[in-house]
Amino acid sequence: MLRAALQSNLDNEFGALTAFWSPRVVAVANGQHVKVAKVKGEFVWHAHADEDEFFLVRKGTLTIRYRDRPDVVLGEGDFHVVPKGVEHMPVAMDECWVVLVEPAATKHTGETVSAISKSIEEQMAHLR
């Protein structure tokens, strides 16, 4: 059974994170997961075949690299949606705090398997 958090504090949720590129589900609403992640360095190239991916920067700067279009640079308060099926790679030169909103079925690194891939069970373990 999942703990239903009706109220929390975003900065407190970020404070609970101890590893980069390890998202944590902080809310579930209408089949969507709201996640927080601290990121630094390069992620992996990946795509989500059937899901869009929403990025909102809370702190720092995040670059979304694309193979087939110009990179997108996001500062604090900026958001961007990566369209489904589009290969991308998030990059942060310094520590960056990111809020993600995506369908519950979205895999962390799409179909790309990597040492940094986190299962949804790992992302939700703190809610059990």
Whether 1 is in a domain gets the answer no
Which among 10-14, 29-33, 93-97 has the top mean pLDDT? 93-97
Give the pLDDT band (50/70/90) at residue 127. Answer: low
Whether 106 is in a domain gets the answer yes
Whether 3 is in a domain gets the answer no
Of residues 128 and 99, the one with the higher pLDDT is 99
pTM for the whole structure: 0.81
| Calpha distance 21→2 (Å, rounded) | 23
Domains contained in the chain, number: 1
Q: Which domain holds residue 71?
A: 10-127
CATH code, domain with 37: 2.60.120.10
pLDDT tens digit sequence for 37-90: 999 999 989 898 888 999 999 999 999 999 999 999 999 999 999 999 999 999
| Sign of the dihedral defined by the CA atoms of residues 73, 74, 80, 85, in that order | positive
Pairing of strands 24-29, 53-59: unpaired
